[in-house]
Every structure is written in C-alpha cells, then in structure tokens.
Structure 1
C-alpha cells in the first residue's frame, strides 16, 4: 500500500520496521522515524508514547500471536506432513516480511533489553516444532536423541537462508533460489536429517504457498 494512503499509526510502524531492520534499534531515533513517516513527534507520543512502545507494537502488528498460532494447521495428523506444513508456513512468513525477521535475529543474537518482547512472539513457533518432533519420535517416524538440540537445528535451518549474503564471495550459484526450490531443498534436508525415508520426503502439494493470512 502507498505510504501516503496509510493512517498515521501504520505509517509510523512501517517506517520504524524499515529503519530498525537497516540501522538497528539503537541506531534509529524517534525523530528520524517521525520525519520519514511524514508525521510529527507529538503524533508518535500520542499513538505509542516512545520508541520502546513502537518496538513492541511492531511485533504485535506484524508478528501477532494469533498468526503464529495458525501456522502449521493441517488436516493430517501425521508428524512428517505437519512438519512440512510448519516449514512451509514459516518460510512463507520469513520471505514475506524479511525486515521483521532481520530485527528478530538481531535482537535475539545480542540478547538486548528487548529480548523478552521478541521471545514472547518467537517461542510459540519453537513450541510448535517441538511438539511435532516429540510426537514424531514417539511414533517412530523421526529418529534423534536430543529434542532440544534437534529443535535448535531445525529452527536454525528455517531461518539460515536469510544470511545467504554471508557466503556471496564463495557462492556457486547466481541469484536467489525460487520459493519452490528453497522449500523443496529445506524440507528434504530437515526430514532426511530426522530419518524420514527419501521417497517420503518430497511432496509437491506442500510447495503450494498458503493464502496470505494477513
């Protein structure tokens, strides 16, 4: 949507998200947010109170808990299929809003003063993967020893591709992979690592991007 057509509160949030992702929270001032959003400082104070409240509102707006709760919904109760759907939904979210993911990664890696806000919105995603992994191991579908370690490996795999620029000097492929290629390779990598047989890993139906949840 054109920035000029957004209401003032949303313009402030969209602008803050862009600046926080590019410059970091500490490198961005309320005055800069106000100027680029085409508002004034009084309006930011009216809607939010200050920069801390803008940050919290970012996650409530762009990564709401009800959206996270809808991730991974599947008609199948089979753990491997549910994990496929979860991977798809999380990749879809990551690709649609790379700015919020950039903020998330920065805040969690540095364990900043805003860590608890981010964690409140991220832990439910981890819990969904954790639950599927537990059930899959109990059913004999997944094979692994440490649940905590595998949970971290799976989540790291889902979010790792956003760091593709780090290997640019030695990359062997030009450009970014398509959504379908990324989802195919990541799903195969995770499920085969969990011991799912290769002929049961790749499901074309799982590549269909879900309709936008926003």
Structure 2
C-alpha cells in the first residue's frame, strides 16, 4: 500500500513538472495534473494540500539544494575544484532536466509569488560558489577586480550558456554534447578568473539522482 502511494505521488510530481514547464504554474490546473498522472482528483489535496504545495514538493524532489550543499561542504574542496565541480554539476543538471530548468526560468523572470522559494534554493548554490571564488582570490589562484562582478558573470555563464532556440539564427553548427559544454563553460570561467592551470574536479558526482522514485 505504501509503495503504491509513493508511485501515485511520483506520478503527480512528474505530471506537474511536465505541465508547469509547458504552460506555467498559473495556467496549469489540478484537474490537468491528475489527468496526466492518471490519479484521482482528490489525491492532490490529500497528499499535498493543494497546487501550491505540489509546486513546493516538486522543488524539494528535483532540486534538493540542502543535500547538494551538505555533500559539497563535506568534501572540503579547494577553490578550483569547488568552482569546477559545482559548474559541472549545474550544467549537467540543466541539460538532464530541461523541464525543471524551464520552470526555474519562468518563476525567476516573471517574479511570481513562488519566486522567493526559487531564490532561496538558488542562493544556497551561489553563496557557496562565491566562497570558492573568494578563497581562490585570497590564495592568488584567481584574479579579479570585483568579487561581486565575477559572481554575476559566472552565474550568467553557467545559467544562460545553453544552446537555446533564441541563439539558433547566429549558430553555424549543432550544439555540442554536455561534457563539451562543461569544458567550454569552464574554459571561459577559469579564463575570466585569471586561472592559468587545468580544471580540477571532485571524483564523485555531487548532484544526487533527481528522480523522486521510479517512473510508473
């Protein structure tokens, strides 16, 4: 019984993720989510207490920032490895789950009532990235005029470095694979930080599996 409940809750979250990415939160109804999930209409209220809480559960399931930060801090990475590993995982995640990436973009650009929830999660990551760059500056590994400025530029390179349709008119070749994108973004970031060495990575994956249970 418990296993079946988890399957239903998982289906609801996947359905919500798919529809909200396509239509936006406001335009997505609970009825549509339940139809997509093949779940009884009452179950959204029963399990989550309404659509707003479905959204919050969606973020917790697919963007588990607390777990990610705990893993990173436990590794006690040096500045270069921290910047490189965090960049790699964000680029990989962005490519692996375009629906969540679309939802993040929607909520951050539209300044909705849910933007604060998104901001809280994002700031955990960017504060840690800032710590890595600040420590790299203290160790003379990185050189920059303003830590605030490089925080903005690095975040922009990682978040908006994808090969979206808006860039297609000026692109002459097919988008590279994800690992090539990681390499390109890091080359750009490390060059901008004035680092002359090779990228360094933690040997293990940082970002946990972002699927909240198996698909049904």
Q: 1:76 and 1:188, CA in 2 relative to 1: closer, same or farther beyond 3 A?
A: farther
Deviation at 1:75, TM superposition (A): 5.7
Question: What is aligned with 1:130?
Answer: 130
User: Which consecutive unaligned segments of at least 5 residues does structure 1 have?
Assistant: none
Q: Which moved more, 1:12-21 or 1:74-83?
A: 74-83
When the two chains are superposed, the root-mean-square deviation of aligned CA atoms in Å is 2.4
Structure 2 unaligned segments of length 5 or more: list them.
Answer: 210-216
3-state secondary structure, aligned to 1:52: helix
Counterpart-to-counterpart distance in 2, 1:183 and 1:202: 11
Q: Secondary structure at the match of 1:140?
A: coil
Kindly indicate whether structure 1 or structure 2 has the higher relative contact order, using CA contacts under 8 Å at least 6 residues apart: 2
* Structure 2 residue matching 1:41: 3-state secondary structure: coil
The change in CA–CA distance for 1:144 and 1:70 in structure 2 (over 3 A counts) is same
Please report how far the alpha carbon of residue 53 of structure 1 lies from its aligned counterpart in structure 2 after TM superposition: 0.7
Tell me: CA distance 1:74–1:196, structure 2 relative to 1, closer, same or farther (3 Å): farther
In structure 2, what is the equivalent of residue 213 of structure 1? 208
Aligned position for 1:114:
114
The separation in 1 between residues aligned to 2:71 and 2:111, in whole angstroms, is 25
State the aligned residue count: 206
Given that 2:86 and 2:129 are in contact with CA atoms closer than 8 Å, whether structure 1 keeps it comes out as yes
Distance 1:164 1:72 in 2: 29
Does structure 1 conserve the Cα–Cα contact (< 8 Å) formed by 2:141 and 2:195?
yes
**TM-score where L is the length of structure 2:** 0.86
State the alpha-carbon separation in 1 of the partners of residues 53 and 6 from structure 2.
20
